[in-house]
Structure 1
Amino acid sequence: MRIRQATDEDWSVVWPFFHEIVAAGETFTYPLDLGKDDARWWWLLDPPNHTVVAVDDDGTVLGTAKMNNNHMGNGSHVAGASYMVDPRHAGQGVGRALCTYSLDWARASGFRAMQFNAVVETNVHAVTLYGSLGFEILGTLPEGFDHPAHGLVGLHIMHRRL
């Protein structure tokens, strides 16, 4: 697996699984009806922020990540990131590779920490992955997310020093 800078051409491949994940309403706080053009601007970030894709040896896009400053001004030393793995490639280490890449990017970019603002507590795979990479749950917003199957569940704020 290789991770490279995302291009505008990648969006046509990313969009179908991005849309599937967002429309399912289980893991992101994005509008469920987010359209392709608006989503593109939310995900494919301009420098100094960074969006990447993970690809296999054949160039198939397996997943994507976006990395950015989590806050502005005096809080701009804290990075944020979001990840999406094509469900057809789940369980193959794509999420771990993207998260590890984003930590390396943040460190190399001079960030002092990384924070995830809204990790849905029922997203056990993500919570477990982030914990294995040194993230801690700082707190949970009770009933902060309306999950389509589980109803109102918590949103974790997760943090890791770099």
Structure 2
Amino acid sequence: MIREMTRSDFESFWPTFSAVIQAQETYAFDADMTLEQAYHLWCELPLKTYVWEEQGVILGSYYLKANAMGPSRHICNCGYMVAEAARGRGIARALCEHSQRVAVERGFKAMQFNSVVSTNTQAVQLWKALGFNIIGTIPDAYQHGQLGYVDCYIMYKWLDT
């Protein structure tokens, strides 16, 4: 069910991606981003990008990249999206678990999420359940589409056992 994303996969996933960024509830991406800009950001800049596919339908995706360079290149960063109709089925959990395995295989020692919107309570709870800790709060870091300015969390997990 989880495999590397192709250009065609991203084009199929674009309606989900576009809906997520237009809602302005979870990602700090421009709501008017084009498919080309989004593909570059999600698939070309990261080290790897994966999809969750069921019966030819892309229901979720994540990317994996280094969080920084040089002496901090051992920490990776990921972003995850799941189609609204597929939420609550464990896809985000499976994608995050997969990303941690891939991160370790690629030599990363830790994973950091730089900006988890505090009002995204399902994600915060899931990441905590998967062993991530909130290591910082950025006050009023995100202008939520419905709620105005809300905090963001920096979440972190050491992967190297």
Paired with 1:156 and 1:53, the residues of 2 have a C-alpha distance of 25
- Matched residue of 2:44: which SS? coil
Match of 1:55? 53
Task: Provide the identity percentage.
Answer: 38
The whole-number CA distance in structure 2 between the counterparts of 1:29 and 1:55 is 25
1:60-139 → structure 2 map (5 Å cutoff): 60-139=57-136
How many residues were matched structurally?
159
Contact 1:22 / 1:31 at 8 angstroms: preserved in 2? yes
Write the distance in 1 (CA, Å) between the matches of 2:138 and 2:10.
32
SS in 2 for 1:83: strand
Unaligned runs of 5+ in 1: none
Residue 33 in 1 paired to residue 29 in 2?
Answer: no
Alpha-carbon distance in 2 for matches of 1:105, 1:45: 17
TM-score (norm 2): 0.96
- TM-score by length of structure 1 reads 0.95
Q: Which residue is equivalent to 1:44?
A: 43
Partner of 1:147: 144
Deviations 1:100-159 (A, max 9, x none): 010011111110100000000000011001000000000110000111211111010000
> Deviation per CA, 1:55-79, whole angstroms, max 9, x where unpaired?
12x1221100000101111110000
2:15 is matched with 16
After TM superposition, give the deviation of residue 45 of structure 1 in Å.
3.0
Is the Cα contact below 8 Å between 1:45 and 1:66 reproduced in 2? no
Structure 2 distance, partners of 1:156, 1:41, is 25
User: Which amino acid in structure 2 is aligned with residue 52 of structure 1?
Assistant: Y
Indicate the RMSD between aligned Cα atoms, in angstroms: 1.0
Give the deviation of 1:46 after TM superposition. Answer: 5.9
Displaced runs of 4 or more, over 4 A: none
**In 2, Cα distance between the equivalents of 1:59 and 1:35?**
24
